[in-house]
A and B are shown apart, each in its own frame.
Chain A
Amino acid sequence: MAERVQQIEVMQAPARRPGRGRALGYLVLAAGGLLAVLPFLWMLSWSLMTNVEVTVGRVLPAQVHWSNYLTAWDKANFSQFMWNSSRITAITVCGLLMFCVPAAYAFARMRFWGRNVLFAIMLATLMIPDIVTLIPNFLTIVWINRLSQSLFGPAGAWMNNWPSLTIPFMASAFTIFLLRQFFSQIPDELWDAARIDGAGHLRFLLRVVVPLSRPAIMTVVIFSFIGSWNALLWPLLVIQTDEWRPVAFGLTKFVQADAGDEFHLQMAASVIMILPILLLYFVAQKQFTVGIATTGTRG
């Protein structure tokens, strides 16, 4: 009896952690949190200062200058770049869903000849570093651009136009894999019931699978959004005019050329650029962490 009591005590002891240890834990966690947000706070503070205040190293602005945002927006030509990035993102996300959802459905729920081989090939493409495909893809796009322009005139242009920025990203092995994992968890009974009701694959996909998979689809949309908001290297190669350059390029150009010495404006522009992503993050935060925890990357 005494032994058992002792055992129970042993089992409970670690659960009731001593207060000091827990306080230390909180301290470390808070320090980590502070380090994580400190650059953002600095960014915010600097964006509200005058340039002189930034250069002399003040921590907080003496007076808050909201007008910096307007100045930065105008000087960086963000009306154009934000509009570009929104267009690019919208087209990419629509295309991605249109192409990847059926493909993932086929891999998850249909039996067809060559399924496993195709799936394995698709997964193998995940191992190829982007830099290997960069040059040939650029050459391919240059060529498609030439051909398409001579067939359809200037409207058929791929370079300096939306197709080169969006079409290569409208299908990704990663997205198809993620969706497939989700689609295969849908119970077979639903498919049997749908088939008895006379539904085919397309109707089942649109009426049952897609509504049930809203969380997975949201995750995909968010990853794709971040991806096209961040894209810099590829647009640098295929776009030479401001008409379709994304906001990441706009900010880079602003920081490196137009506002080289105006640090407060650089910071204001940076804040503007991350704002849409932050909004999305706070609205769909659960989607973010769950999506990343289950898949491991942000696509």
Chain B
Amino acid sequence: MLEQRAPFTVRRRRVLLENLTAWLFLAPAGAIIFLFGIFPVTFAFFVSLHRWRRFPDDFRGLDSYVKAMGNFGYVVFFWLSLALLLLAAYTFWRLWRDCRDAPGRAGWILPGVAGAGALIALFNWFFTLLPVVLNVPVRLRGQEMTRDLFIGEFFASFRFEAVLAAADVLWTLLLLFVLALLLARRFLPGAEALRLLLLATGAALALTAGALLLQLTLDEIGLAIAGAQEDGLELPVWSQIILISAGAGLLGAALWLWQGALGDYMDGRFAGRVLLVVLAVIGAVLLIVQLPQALAEADDDMLQGFSVTVMYSFFSVPLQLTLGLGLAVLLFQEIRGKSFFRMLYFLPYITPFVATSTVFSLLFSHRSASPANQFLGLLGIESQNWLLEPTGVLRLIFGEQVPVALAGPGLALVVIIFYNVWVYAGYSTVIFLAGLGNIPATLYEAARIDGATGWKQFRHVTLPLLSPTTFFLILIATIGTFQAFTQIFLMRRPGAFKAVDTINIYIYEEIQSGNPNYAYGSAMAFVLFAVILVLTLIQNRIAGRRVFYG
């Protein structure tokens, strides 16, 4: 074959060399990113499906997720598997559309599917091997651990019956994949081969993952219902799944109709609006009634952690962005000492959290001589306990008649929110300044000629053109506040009970306790991941309509 293409040999050699060099350049960084950045995600999911304290134990299915989220866990996994199946269907549809005009290209689906099979077999082999390897110390318990014994047992792990069986499947599928690939290269048109191959692999992977997940979810639901029946109880998992899905679906449909699909058409038509409102109200009522029931068995500490996280984020982000925007707009004018001010504002952001949160805990100390309490004294207000005070601020201000549920963040959390705003306002300022610099001066001139000054310019030129920056900052700040750990870990005091314990702190406590539960910790980490993803998607959707990219 090479001889046929003799004129291109030199070029082919160069291409090959370039490929090899590039892969060599990538190898070390790629290995580290894979080992500590990509593989851990699948590993964490594997851990979360087992009983896992110090060492891996038996398979427990969705138990950890149900422990965290109650019956809502089943709902989420049901949705997840449906989403994966939908993704598979959509990808297959795209494949079909691509191959409709050139049926020959459909042949590429075969190696793609074989590749997906090989990948799944690889996963299967690896995750069969992993617990066997991780349990080497358990199997050697009671014997004196010598080097040879350990190494021997380590290599013996590869020859466990289950591992060998998985390896056989892997080799077979790998062989099939290579064969299919070679055949396809020989006989099929090469145009867009990689794309088709990847599409087919992705579709097959999504199909398998979705089917497996659905199977697991259905099994787990069946088990849970059977278990409850033995105790003479009724477990309304299915009605919850149906009602919550219906509620979310109706709300989604209402939003979709309102946003675009029929928005123009129905505008001003009374019947259309009534339909919208009815859809939205039914959906919302379903959710409001069903969600608390589905979450009734959820882990209260985790829910508390989430509510603290949400409050922390909800109050920090707008404050730090508003302050940052104000300072940036002031700094952007023709003034002296611009870089000096910028340097000052940036100072809190670059100094280590450990040092600055130590200062903050002294500034907001409960002692009556602390600066914060002295300041309150100047205003004629009695001293507060600050970081030791779990009571909600509204309750502190307006007294006992405010219900606990509406009391807002505890005073301790408010101090940490102050800290967060102090650290990140300057950061927002710098990013906003960069954004302001990108707005063409001609637009301001045009606005001036049209007679817009001051507030009008800000409202109709600056804000819209700054919206990409604002959106970016909102996204970064939300994700950051949801993941905050160090500053909260350092400023939390036993006296504040759980008023400042965000979900991250709770997970940390779970894995640092004397008897760490890695499975539950991983499951909660995934719940947090899912919440962050959903928030990002929602923000993206909202931004899609509002952000102006010039």
Contact = CB atoms under 8 A, between A and B. Distances in A.
Interface in B156-208: 198
Q: Is the interface of B mostly helix, strand, loop or mixed?
A: helix
A143 B508 CA distance: 20
A26 B348 CA distance: 20
Contact of B36 (A112, A133, A229): A133
Interface string A141-183: 0010011001100000000000000011011110010000000
Contacts of A130: 483
A66 interface: no
A248 interface: yes
Contacts of B454: 14
B218 interface: no
A218 to B, nearest CB: 15
Contact of B29 (A100, A129, A252, A278): A100
B346 A135 contact: no
A36 B347 contact: yes
A69 interface: no
B37 A273 contact: no
Contacts of A206: none
B74 interface: no
Interface residues of B, number: 106
Interface stretch (B227-235, B386-394, B407-415, B443-451): B443-451
Contacts, number: 283
B116 interface: no
A113 B39 CA distance: 22
A39 B363 contact: yes
A298 B424 CA distance: 12
Nearest to A124: B38
B483 A270 contact: no
A131 B528 contact: yes
A131 B362 contact: no
A103 B489 contact: no
A130 B533 CA distance: 14
Interface string A62-79: 000000000000000000
A11, A26, A232, A298 pick with most chain B CB within 10 angstroms: A232
A14 B453 contact: yes
A43 interface: yes
B18 A112 contact: yes
B268 to A, nearest CB: 40
Given A29-B341, A40-B347, A274-B351, A297 B476 contact: yes
A283 interface: no
A107 B29 CA distance: 12
Contacts of A26: 335
A190 to B, nearest CB: 17
B350 A11 contact: no
Interface in A271-290: 271, 273-274, 277-278, 281, 285, 288-289
Given A57-B370, A132-B44, A7 B449 contact: yes
Given A43-B359, A252-B490, A293 B433 contact: yes
B501 to A, nearest CB: 14
B195 to A, nearest CB: 10
B243 interface: no
B367 to A, nearest CB: 7
B135 to A, nearest CB: 11
B322 interface: no
Q: Which 4 A-B pairs have the closest CB atoms?
A: A57-B369, A112-B22, A136-B43, A136-B40
Interface of B: 18-19, 21-23, 25-26, 28-33, 35-41, 43-44, 47, 133-134, 136-137, 147, 150-151, 154, 198, 323, 326-327, 330-331, 333-335, 341-356, 358-360, 362-363, 367-371, 374, 422, 425-427, 430-431, 433-434, 445, 448-449, 451, 453-454, 457, 472, 476, 479, 482-483, 485-486, 489-490, 504, 507-508, 511-512, 518, 521-522, 525-526, 528-529, 532-533, 536
Interface of A: 7, 10-11, 13-15, 17, 22, 25-26, 28-29, 32-33, 35-37, 39-40, 42-43, 46, 54-57, 98-100, 102-103, 105-107, 110-113, 115, 117-118, 121-122, 125, 127-140, 143, 146-147, 150-151, 167-168, 170-173, 176, 200-202, 226, 229-230, 232-233, 236-237, 248, 251-252, 255, 263, 266-267, 270-271, 273-274, 277-278, 281, 285, 288-289, 292-294, 296-298
Given A40-B359, A57-B370, A267-B362, 16 more contacts: A32-B323, A42-B363, A55-B367, A57-B367, A99-B29, A103-B28, A103-B29, A118-B26, A125-B37, A125-B38, A129-B483, A132-B526, A135-B522, A200-B21, A289-B430, A293-B433
